[in-house]
């Protein structure tokens, strides 16, 4: 097995191990919460016999390690269990919610990633001049404002004052693609402003780190245009750290989207999780936590693999 393939296999194996560890933490974390799940489901007027019967039905009378392995076996077979509050199959209920979250994250990523990289390259081209200072100031301000505050500010101006976009981002099956885009205008703007700052700054830093290299000076002596040198010669060699920060922010668009979905009442995974946390619906919380962990670990693992494949010293070890 060559060095490149060995590193890729190691990263994939490490990702699977991390996901297994995350499943243990999620299960333990939801089971050590104060309170009684059976009591929360049946209410304060439930009789001791009814509570005992529900605990037996939910398997709460079994040891924790047995319940964990039964839950893990169900997850591996695609069975996430049933909701305690309404008895619905969690996998079926999450399907539509997850697709809504991925749609919002995908639209935000399609805008944020090219915008951040382009702004980073422009900042390098005009280093220490007014375009660089303006871009750095705006991106720093956008990542410094909390998401919920940014959401309410946009909601006030763009929804209430100027009626450009709806304040409540409701989408449903059968809705046209353009109607969905109009509905998610405000949460997309919030997410783009939040994530593009880090990607822009990393692009700028990674490219600036290479601008004093000998091959860059050679390209300058050939008379190539400055922006062409940055985009065609410096940026491809700075791609590894940029990929890492892009993947981390893509993971955030899926995992850290909870606040934005709650602010705009968007029917995604974040809103679904918050609704069932308040009802102490443990199986739903476990399923959502595991899906979020899988997305985050998977995207970080993909970033590691792409960084390895993009490294010419690993592709050509000799």
Q: Provide DSSP, 231-254.
A: IIIIHHHTHHHHHHHHHHHHHHHH
Distance CA 38, CA 43 (A): 8
- Which residue is listed with tokens 């619906």? 281
Between residues 228 and 152, the one the model is more confident about: 152
Between residues 211 and 119, the one the model is more confident about: 119
The CATH class for the domain spanning 91-280 reads mainly alpha
Say what the pLDDT of residue 313 is: 58
pLDDT > 60? residue 147: yes
Say what the pLDDT of residue 315 is: 59
pLDDT > 60? residue 220: yes
Q: Produce one character per residue of 4-39: b if its CB has 16 or more CB atoms within 10 Å, e if not.
A: eeebbeebeeebeebbeebbeebbeebeeeeeebbe
Say what the pLDDT of residue 317 is: 53
Q: Are 254 and 292 in contact (CB under 8 A)?
A: yes
Distance CA 124, CA 135 (A): 11
pLDDT > 60? residue 39: yes
Q: What's the pTM value of the predicted model, to 2 decimals?
A: 0.86
pLDDT > 90? residue 101: yes
pLDDT > 60? residue 145: yes
Q: What is the mean pLDDT of residues 82-98?
A: 85
Say what the pLDDT of residue 294 is: 92
Q: Produce one character per residue of 279-302: b if its CB has 16 or more CB atoms within 10 Å, e if not.
A: ebbbbbbbbbbbbbbbbbbbbbbb
Say what the pLDDT of residue 190 is: 94
Nearest to 21 by CA among 55, 72, 94, 66: 72
Q: What is the DSSP letter of 161?
A: I
CA dihedral 256, 260, 263, 264 (to 10 degrees): -140
Q: What are the tens digits of pLDDT across the range 125-144?
A: 999 899 999 999 999 888 88
Q: Where are the domains of the chain?
A: 91-280
Say what the pLDDT of residue 314 is: 57
Task: Please count the helices (runs of H) and the strands (runs of E) in the chain.
Answer: 17, 0
Q: What is the mean pLDDT of residues 262-281?
A: 87
Q: Is 190 exposed, middle or buried (0-12, 13-18, 19+ CB in 10 A)?
A: buried
pLDDT > 90? residue 24: yes
């Amino acid at each position: 097995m060559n060095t490149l393939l060995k590193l890729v296999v190691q990263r994939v194996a490490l990702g699977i191990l991390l996901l297994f560890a995350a499943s243990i933490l999620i299960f333990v974390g939801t089971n050590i919460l104060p309170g009684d799940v059976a009591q929360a489901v049946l209410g304060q007027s439930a009789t001791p016999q009814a509570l005992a019967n529900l605990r037996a039905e939910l398997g709460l009378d079994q040891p924790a390690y047995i319940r964990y392995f039964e839950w893990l076996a169900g997850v591996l077979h695609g069975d996430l269990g049933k909701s305690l509050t309404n008895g619905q199959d969690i996998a079926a209920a999450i399907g539509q919610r997850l697709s809504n979250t991925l749609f919002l994250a995908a639209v935000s990523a399609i805008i944020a990633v090219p915008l951040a990289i382009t702004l980073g390259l422009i900042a390098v081209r005009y280093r220490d001049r007014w375009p660089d200072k303006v871009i750095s100031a705006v991106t720093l301000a956008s990542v410094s404002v909390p998401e919920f505050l940014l959401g309410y500010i946009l909601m006030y101006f763009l929804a209430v004052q100027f009626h450009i976009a709806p304040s409540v981002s409701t989408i449903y099956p059968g809705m046209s693609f353009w109607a969905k885009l109009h509905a998610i205008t405000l949460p997309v703007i919030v997410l783009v402003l939040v994530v593009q700052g880090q990607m822009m700054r990393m692009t700028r830093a990674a490219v600036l780190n290479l601008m004093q290299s000998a091959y860059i000076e050679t390209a300058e002596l050939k008379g190539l245009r400055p922006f062409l040198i940055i985009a065609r010669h410096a940026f491809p060699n700075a791609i590894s750290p940029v990929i890492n920060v892009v993947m981390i922010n893509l993971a955030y668009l899926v995992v850290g989207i909870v606040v934005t979905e709650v602010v705009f009442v968007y029917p995604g995974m974040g809103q679904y999780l918050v609704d069932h946390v308040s009802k102490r619906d443990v199986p739903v919380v476990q399923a959502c936590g595991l899906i979020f962990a899988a997305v985050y670990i998977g995207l970080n693992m993909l970033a590691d693999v792409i960084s390895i494949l993009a490294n010419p010293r690993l592709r050509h070890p000799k």
